[in-house]
């Protein structure tokens, strides 16, 4: 009886304490981790980089459909290549190859950029030829060197799969699947592929212990050397086109000539969309031709041809250390179970006719 009375009294005290608007300093408890995360400080003022916010899908059903399409190899002629083949979400949204492998082992002309945080780009592809993720999503499907299909054939395959017909109807309100619906859904999924909560973001939000002294010195060196002139904003890049080889010409191994392929202007030759540095330790090799195998090598080359600067090994190591703090929380979800083909679904042609 006494034990029950004590327990009841403690419960009353806890309730009063938690509801009371006034506390003595000695009684103040440490906030739980969840509260600290919600009550994070405002970003540090004056920094050229801002934290990444978590994605909040506007249409979860469309995102789920887009996820299935992103992983579905039936959108390719071979029935083997999906969006995830070149933008592998287990590998930082890239394929870690100098250039991607397409239909019939075709060697692509350029390094595959990461799909992570790509919604923050001013345009898509290295040369910016696609204005947004929706337009980009349709490109590889119809590219003969990539997925080697046509939009019409891709849609006909999806239309032959009852599970997709039902899901497209739920999302778009129509029995007829269109390429616009396909690219809308893929883009909606890709918009969710952001990577918040990097250690550097935590530092930006006021946690002085989130990065080490060497990492902070690497960031300060990164800024003072002029790197943030191009690598700024939430993605540390992706928001401008810049010439590769400002101080010294860059001898590329790729035939790609950059923005001039879109504008037709010679002044835009070798102007490329600045790549994001988010998750950069995961997205090797580097540059549009994939010629820099390591971060240390990429930093040395960029220092030389863009800034006219020779970093010491110690400086290089500190900048590398800083860049590794930019790895955020990777997209995490259940792999989609794709709807089965029907008897009328065209067979893939992995080796051609």
What would the 3-class secondary structure string for 49-96 be? CCCCCCCCCCCHHHHHHHHHHHHCHHHCCCCCCCHHHHCECCCCCECC
Q: How many Å apart are CA 152 and CA 167, to the nearest integer?
A: 19
Q: How many Å apart are CA 106 and CA 90, to the nearest integer?
A: 23
Q: How many Å apart are CA 95 and CA 292, to the nearest integer?
A: 15
SS3 content of the chain, % helix, strand, coil (to 5): 40, 5, 55
Q: How many Å apart are CA 5 and CA 18, to the nearest integer?
A: 20
Instruction: With beta carbons less than 8 A apart as the criterion, state whether 303 and 309 touch.
Output: yes
Answer CATH for 199-324 from 2.40.260.10, 1.20.120.1760, 1.10.760.10, 3.30.43.10: 1.10.760.10
> Which residues on adjacent β-strands are paired with residue 243?
271
> 60-190: CATH homologous superfamily?
Cytochrome c-like domain (1.10.760.10)
Catalytic residues: 146
E runs forming strands in 139-268: 241-243
Residue 105's SS3 state is helix
- Give how far the C-alpha of residue 293 lies from the chain's centroid of Cα atoms, to the nearest Å: 20
CB neighbour burial string for 130-150, b if at least 16 within 10 angstroms, e if fewer: bebbbebbbebbbeeebbbbe
Contacts 24+ apart (CB under 8 A), 315-318: 315/221, 317/214, 317/218, 318/214, 318/215, 318/217, 318/218, 318/221
| Identical fold, 60-190 and 199-324 | yes
What does the domain layout of the chain look like in residue ranges? Answer: 60-190, 199-324
pLDDT in 10s for each residue of the chain, 353 residues? 433 333 343 333 333 333 333 333 333 333 333 322 333 457 899 999 999 999 999 999 999 999 999 999 999 999 999 999 999 999 999 999 999 999 999 999 999 999 999 999 999 999 999 999 999 999 999 999 999 999 999 999 999 999 999 999 999 999 999 999 999 999 999 999 999 999 999 999 999 999 999 999 999 999 999 999 999 999 999 999 999 999 999 999 999 999 999 999 999 999 999 999 999 999 999 999 999 999 999 999 999 999 999 999 999 999 999 999 999 999 999 999 999 999 999 999 998 77
Q: How many CA atoms, within 13 angstroms, populate the side-chain half-sphere of residue 247? A: 10
> In the 8-state DSSP scheme, what is residue 242?
E
Q: How many Å apart are CA 211 and CA 203, to the nearest integer?
A: 7
């Amino acid at each position: 009886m006494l034990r029950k009375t004590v327990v009841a009294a403690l419960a009353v005290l806890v309730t009063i304490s938690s509801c009371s608007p006034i506390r003595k300093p000695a009684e103040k408890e440490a906030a739980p981790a969840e509260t600290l995360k919600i009550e994070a400080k405002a970003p540090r003022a004056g920094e050229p980089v801002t934290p990444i916010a978590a994605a909040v899908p506007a249409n979860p059903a469309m995102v789920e459909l887009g996820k299935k399409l992103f992983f579905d190899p039936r959108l390719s002629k071979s029935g083997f290549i999906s969006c995830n083949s070149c933008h592998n979400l287990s590998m930082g949204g890239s394929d870690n190859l100098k250039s991607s492998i397409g239909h019939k082992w075709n060697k692509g002309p350029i390094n595959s950029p990461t799909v992570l945080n790509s919604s923050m780009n001013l345009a898509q592809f290295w040369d910016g030829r696609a204005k947004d993720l929706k337009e980009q999503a349709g490109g590889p499907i119809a590219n003969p060197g990539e997925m080697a299909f046509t939009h019409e054939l891709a849609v006909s395959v999806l239309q032959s799969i009852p599970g997709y017909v039902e899901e497209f109807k739920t999302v778009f309100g129509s029995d007829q699947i269109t390429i616009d619906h396909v690219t809308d859904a893929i883009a909606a999924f890709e918009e969710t592929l952001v990577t918040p909560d990097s250690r550097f973001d935590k530092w930006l939000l006021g946690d002085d212990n989130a990065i080490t002294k060497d990492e902070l010195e690497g960031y300060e060196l990164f800024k003072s050397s002029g790197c943030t002139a191009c690598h700024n904003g939430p993605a540390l890049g992706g928001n401008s086109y810049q010439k590769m080889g400002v101080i010294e010409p860059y001898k590329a191994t790729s035939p790609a000539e950059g923005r001039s392929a879109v504008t037709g202007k010679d002044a835009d030759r070798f102007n490329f969309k600045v790549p994001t540095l988010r998750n950069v330790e995961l997205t090797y090799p580097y540059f549009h031709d994939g010629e820099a195998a390591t971060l240390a090598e990429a930093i040395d080359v960029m220092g030389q041809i863009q800034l006219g600067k020779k970093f010491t090994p110690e400086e290089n190591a500190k900048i590398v250390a800083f860049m590794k703090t930019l790895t955020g929380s990777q997209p995490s979800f259940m792999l989609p179970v794709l709807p089965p083909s029907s008897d009328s679904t065209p067979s893939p042609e992995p080796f051609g006719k």
